Chain A
Amino acid sequence: MQDVSTEKKEFTPNIVAFCCNWCSYAGADLAGSSRLTYPANVKIIRVPCSCRVNPMFVLKAFQRGADGVILCGCHPGDCHYVTGNYYTRRRMALLYSFLNYMGIEKERTRVEWVSAAEGARFASVMNDFVKQVTELGENKRLTDLRVKEGE
């Protein structure tokens, strides 16, 4: 028989982080090899460039139960493909503003520029983002009830 506990489980958010291969993913590596800690519930998805992230990816992440989505790329001007992150910047600015217009909390979405040398920054950005989403609580507004596990 399943345990029925009245004790409230502590909420740990699911965070999806899209990291570009050239900067932020290497930044995450550096954070790891420098033994800096950041929460384990950040699920990193490596993409060739932040520009690879289609708005659908962000929405799909929310659909599949993410509580927050963060997109990390090279600093503007440093893109491996020269201009990719400039497009990302416009695209995500509009998407996030639009999601907020639809009533989705703006704290759930974020774009950060993290270079390969910024391991410490990567860890602090993730710590900060996870804290922010934890305070916000579960994503209820942009989720697909069908993919929720029975609770």
Chain B
Amino acid sequence: MKEVEMKMLERAKALLESGEVARVVAWKKGDFCFDPSPAVFESVEELDTFVYDWFCGANLSKYLIQIAKKEGKTAVFLKPCDTYSFNQLVKEHRIDREKVYVIAVECLAKLDVEKMKAKGVSMIESVEVVDKDVHVKTAYGEETLYKPDVVLTKCETCNKTHQAKDEEIILHERPERDVNRFAEVEKLEAMTEDERFAFWRNQLSKCIRCNACRNVCPACSCVKCVFDNPASGISAKANDDQFEEQLFHIIRAFHVAGRCTDCGECSRVCPQNIPLHLLNRKFIKDIDGLYGEFQAGETTEGKTPLTSFTEGDVEPKDVFNGEAK
């Protein structure tokens, strides 16, 4: 990852120096090694804090909605999953493709510091990944973790490849894996209604309505959002009622249905660890099963499943659990 970072930094410098781009969207160092944050670099001097490491899980595509509107071209580093969101936003005319210079960077799965903490590793000072071993240097000494145990949930079942790029910085190819991203959804579907209700009430009652999932979601980019409208009756910050939690998540999931690229940012940012991606994946699974395989963000053209139809579509009463009876 270090070599990749150096290459990226080199390119960012060259692009800024030559004036080819006016700014670079990337990650900057945080207070600790595990909290880099998205940042905009407008000059070579600012690149001192540039970083790309195992904790750069954030999806940068949504930032482009605002940033790419500025004068000049914007360069951005996108991981495979981010390019889907990027394409989807281009398709929805939220980003002008001409004004963005996409540099595809390798990912190889990012680490989740929360999962590492749960394994009893805290006070992390530095991290080195060798194949499937994560060597962590902490204030208490050194530890080795098994990488698949501590990657972000969204990386666990990721098989994505770059869908948009003007150039690429890829030094290591990630092998294709045999994973079923719907395994968890299927497990829920196999439960009874009562069990499912109990599961979701248990999960969603943790929701504090911080709106982080909405704010981070690249598909949730309406200028005016229903949840900001006090007249909607569902804009409360804190929950008054279990209904609010359900309604918030149902509306959000439905709103992004057919547009959700399954980038998994919602689950990553949730401070309460609610598996929000399972809501979106249910829609993806249903759409795949009923209307043919569809991956949002693969192209910048074409219709989404909910804005198109065929005459022989399945009847709603025949649809339950994603399979036509």
With both chains docked as a complex, state the minimum distance between the C-beta of B107 and any C-beta of chain A, in angstroms: 30
The answer to whether A103 and B193 have CB atoms under 8 Å apart is yes
A36 at the interface (CB under 8 A from B): no
Q: Which of B304-323 contact A (CB under 8 A)?
A: 305-307, 309, 311, 313-317, 319-322
Task: Give the distance in Å from the alpha carbon of A106 to the alpha carbon of B316 in the complex.
Answer: 11
A100 to B233, CA, bound (A): 23
Cα of A91 to Cα of B290 in the assembled complex, Å: 12
Task: List residues of B (175-215) whose CB comes within 8 Å of A's CBs.
Answer: 188-189, 193-201
A145 within 8 A of B: yes
Tell me what chain B mostly uses at the interface: helix, strand, loop, or mixed: helix
Stretch of A12-20, A39-47, A55-63, A114-122 with 4 or more beta carbons under 8 angstroms from chain B = A55-63
Contact residues in B for A146 (Cβ distance below 8 Å)? 240-241
Complex contacts, A92 vs chain B, CB 8 Å: 316
Does B26 reach chain A (CB closer than 8 Å)? Answer: no
Interface size on B, residues (CB 8 A): 46
User: In the complex, what's the smallest C-beta–C-beta distance from A75 to chain B, in angstroms?
Assistant: 11
Closest to A83 in B: B309
Question: What residues on A are CB-neighbors of B254 within 8 Å?
Answer: 55, 94-95, 98
Decide if A96 touches B309 in the complex (CB within 8 Å).
Answer: no
- Asked if B282 is at the interface (CB within 8 A of a chain A CB), the reply is yes
**A103 in contact with B194 (CB, 8 Å):** yes
Contact partner, A145, options B241, B314, B322, Cβ 8 Å: B241
Instruction: Considering the complex, give the chain B residue whose CB is closest to the CB of A64.
Output: B233
Find the B residue at minimum CB distance from A92: B316
B residues 278-311 with Cβ under 8 Å of A? 279, 282-283, 286-287, 290-291, 305-307, 309, 311
Residues of chain B within 8 A of A101, CB atoms compared: 188-189, 196, 282, 321
Cross-chain contact A93 with B313 (CB below 8 angstroms): yes
* Chain A interfacial residues counted at CB < 8 A: 36
Given A101-B188, A103-B194, A142-B243, A93-B201 contact (CB < 8 Å): no
Check A143–B243 contact: CB distance below 8 A.
yes
**Which residue of A56, A93, A94 contacts B251 across the interface (Cβ within 8 Å)?**
A56
B306: contacting residue among A83, A91, A106, A110, CB under 8 A: A91
Among B193, B200, B242, chain A packs the most CB atoms within 10 A around the CB of B193
Q: Which B residues are CB-close (under 8 A) to A87?
A: 306-307, 309
Contact A142 B246, beta carbon cutoff 8 Å: yes
Report A116-151 CB contacts with B as 1/0, cut-off 8 Å: 000000000000000000000000011111100000
CA of A86 to CA of B315, assembled, Å: 10
B78 lies within 8 A of chain A by Cβ: no
The answer on a CB contact under 8 Å between A105 and B313 is no
Compute how far the CA of A100 lies from the CA of B226 in the bound complex, rounded to whole angstroms: 24
B250 beta carbon closer than 8 Å to chain A: yes
Complex interface: chain A residues within 8 A of B194 (CB): 103
Question: Do B316 and A111 touch across chains, with their CB atoms under 8 A apart?
Answer: yes
Q: Is B75 an interface residue (CB 8 A)?
A: no
Tell yes or no: B253 within 8 A of A by CB: yes
Contact string against A for B residues 243-273, beta-carbon threshold 8 Å, 1 for contact and 0 otherwise? 1101100110110010000000000000000
Contact A102 B196 (CB under 8 A): yes
Q: Please give, as numbers and ranges, the residues of chain A lying within 8 Å of B200 by CB-CB distance.
A: 102-103
Nearest chain A residue, comparing its CB with the CB of B289: A97
Chain A window 61-98, contacts with chain B (Cβ cutoff 8 Å), 1 for yes, 0 for no: 00100000000000011000001001101111111111
Q: Can you list 17 A-B pairs, Cβ within 8 angstroms, ordered by A?
A: A63-B233, A76-B311, A86-B309, A87-B307, A90-B306, A93-B313, A94-B254, A96-B316, A98-B254, A99-B250, A101-B282, A103-B197, A104-B193, A105-B193, A144-B241, A145-B243, A146-B240
With A89-B315, A98-B282 given, name 15 new contacts (CB 8 A): A55-B254, A76-B313, A90-B291, A93-B319, A94-B286, A97-B286, A97-B319, A97-B320, A97-B322, A100-B193, A101-B196, A102-B197, A105-B193, A106-B320, A143-B243
Contact surface of B with A, Cβ cutoff 8 Å: 188-189, 193-201, 226, 233, 240-244, 246-247, 250-251, 253-254, 257, 279, 282-283, 286-287, 290-291, 305-307, 309, 311, 313-317, 319-322
